[in-house]
Structure 1
Amino acid sequence: MNTLFIIFLLLLCFFFLLKSEDITRAQEDNYATEEEKEVKGFDENTLFSPYTKQEWRSYQHKKINEGRKTRLKIMITYPNKTAVTGAKLYIKQLTSDFHWGCGMTHRILNNSAYKKWFASKFTAADFHNELKWYYTEPTQGQENYTDPDAMLKFADEHGIIVRGHTVLWDDVKYQQKWVRKLSPEKLLQAANKRVDSVVTRYKGRLVGWDVMNENLHHNFFEKRLGKNASAYFYNRVHNIDPDTTLYMNEFNTTEHVNDEWAPPEKYLRRLKKIQAYPGNSGMKMGIGLECHYGAEPIDLHYVRNSLTLLSQAGLPIWLTELDVKIDPTLENKAQLQVIYLEEILRESFCHAAVKAIVIWTGASIDGCDVMCMTNEKLENTPVGDLIDRLMEEWKTGNIEVVSDSKGISRVSVFNGRYEVTVVDPVTDVSSSVTFKVDKVSIPDGNVHLQVLG
Structure 2
Amino acid sequence: MLVKAYSLSSHENRDVFMAEKNKTCLKNPLKPQYNGGIVVNSELNDGLNGWSLAGGAKIGNKVSSDGNKFIVASERKGSYHGFSQTFQLDKEKFYVISGWVQVNHGDDTSIAVIFKTQSGFQHAAWVNAKSGCWSMFKGGLANASGPAQLYFETNNTSIDIWADSISVQPFSQKEWESHQNRSIEKARKSKVAIQVVDSQGKPLPNATISVEQRRADFSFGVTINKNILNNNAYQNWFFSRFKVTVFEDEMKWYSTEATQGNVNYSTADAMVELCKSKGVAVRGHNILWDDPNHQPTWVPALYPQQLSVAADKRVESVVAKYKGEIFHWDVINENLHFNFFESKLGPNASTHFFRLASQFDNTTLFLNDFFTIEKTYEISAPANYLKKIKQLRKEGYGGPLGIGLQGHFSLPIPPYIRSALDMLASAKLPIWITELDVTNTTNQVIFLDQIIKEVVSHPAVEGVLIWSAWKRYGCYRMCLTDKNFNNLPTGDVVDKTRVTLSHEGLVGITNAEGYFETSLFHGDYKAIVAHPSVPKSFQYNFTVTPSGGSDHVKSLSYKFTTA
The TM-score with structure 1 as length reference comes to 0.81
Counterparts of 1:318 and 1:214, CA distance in 2 = 15
Structure 2 counterpart of 1:228, from 327, 343, 348: 348
Structure 2 counterpart of 1:380, from 484, 487, 491: 487
8 A Cα contact 2:92 2:172, kept in partner: no
Tell me if 1:252 matches 2:359. Answer: no
Tell me if 1:261 matches 2:375. Answer: no
8 A Cα contact 2:286 2:329, kept in partner: yes
8 A Cα contact 1:250 1:262, kept in partner: yes
Structure 2 counterpart of 1:286, from 381, 396, 402: 402
SS in 2 for 1:154: helix
2:176 — aligned with what?
A: 56
**Deviations 1:358-392 (CA, angstroms, capped at 9, x unpaired):** 11214342741421111111122111122222222
| Counterpart mapping for 1:49-128 below 5 A | 50-74=170-194, 82=201, 84-86=203-205, 88=207, 90=209, 91-128=211-248
Distance 1:366 1:112, change over 3 A: farther
Counterparts of 2:190 and 2:208, CA distance in 1 = 17
1:9 — aligned with what?
A: none
Counterparts of 1:220 and 1:445, CA distance in 2 = 53
SS in 2 for 1:178: coil
| Partner amino acid, structure 2, of 1:357 | V
Distance 1:202 1:426, change over 3 A: same
CA shift for structure 1 position 121 = 1.8
Moved more, 364-373 or 435-444: 435-444
CA shift for structure 1 position 93 = 2.2
| Partner amino acid, structure 1, of 2:412 | I
CA shift for structure 1 position 351 = 1.1
Distance 1:448 1:434, change over 3 A: closer
| Partner amino acid, structure 2, of 1:393 | T
| Counterpart mapping for 1:102-181 below 5 A | 102-181=222-301
SS in 1 for 2:261: coil
Tell me if 1:184 matches 2:304. Answer: yes
| Partner amino acid, structure 1, of 2:383 | E
Counterparts of 2:298 and 2:195, CA distance in 1 = 66
| Partner amino acid, structure 2, of 1:65 | E
Q: Which has the higher strand share?
A: 2
2:416 — aligned with what?
A: 302
1:274 — aligned with what?
A: 392
Moved more, 360-369 or 52-61: 360-369
Counterparts of 2:348 and 2:421, CA distance in 1 = 27
| Partner amino acid, structure 2, of 1:446 | K
- Name the Cα RMSD after superposition: 2.5
CA shift for structure 1 position 85 = 4.7
8 A Cα contact 1:214 1:250, kept in partner: yes
SS in 2 for 1:248: strand
Counterparts of 2:287 and 2:355, CA distance in 1 = 13
**Deviations 1:136-195 (CA, angstroms, capped at 9, x unpaired):** 112111111111111111111111111111101111111234221222222111111111
Structure 2 counterpart of 1:342, from 440, 449, 466: 449
| Partner amino acid, structure 2, of 1:224 | K
CA shift for structure 1 position 214 = 0.5
8 A Cα contact 1:75 1:446, kept in partner: no
| Counterpart mapping for 1:22-41 below 5 A | none
SS in 1 for 2:298: helix
8 A Cα contact 1:319 1:356, kept in partner: yes
Structure 1 counterpart of 2:521, from 408, 414, 428: 414
SS in 2 for 1:180: coil
Counterparts of 2:439 and 2:554, CA distance in 1 = 45
Q: How many residues align?
A: 396
CA shift for structure 1 position 79 = 7.5
2:507 — aligned with what?
A: 399
**Deviations 1:43-90 (CA, angstroms, capped at 9, x unpaired):** 76575883222211111000010111111244556788x453537351
8 A Cα contact 2:192 2:517, kept in partner: yes
SS in 1 for 2:449: helix
| Gap regions ≥5 residues in structure 2 | 1-90, 95-141, 145-169
Counterparts of 2:538 and 2:457, CA distance in 1 = 35
1:318 — aligned with what?
A: 432
Structure 2 counterpart of 1:361, from 445, 465, 468: 468
SS in 1 for 2:229: helix
**Deviations 1:381-432 (CA, angstroms, capped at 9, x unpaired):** 1111222222223332423232554x65432111121112445776567543
Counterparts of 2:511 and 2:369, CA distance in 1 = 49
Counterparts of 2:198 and 2:557, CA distance in 1 = 9
| Partner amino acid, structure 2, of 1:313 | A
2:112 — aligned with what?
A: none
SS in 1 for 2:192: strand
8 A Cα contact 1:184 1:224, kept in partner: yes
1:33 — aligned with what?
A: none
Distance 1:404 1:448, change over 3 A: farther
1:207 — aligned with what?
A: 327
Counterparts of 2:491 and 2:322, CA distance in 1 = 31
Percent identity of equivalent pairs? 37
Name the structure, 1 or 2, with higher relative contact order (CA <8 Å, separation 6+). 1
8 A Cα contact 2:288 2:331, kept in partner: yes
SS in 2 for 1:273: helix
Q: Which has the higher helix share?
A: 1
8 A Cα contact 1:75 1:449, kept in partner: no
Counterparts of 2:476 and 2:458, CA distance in 1 = 28
SS in 2 for 1:110: coil
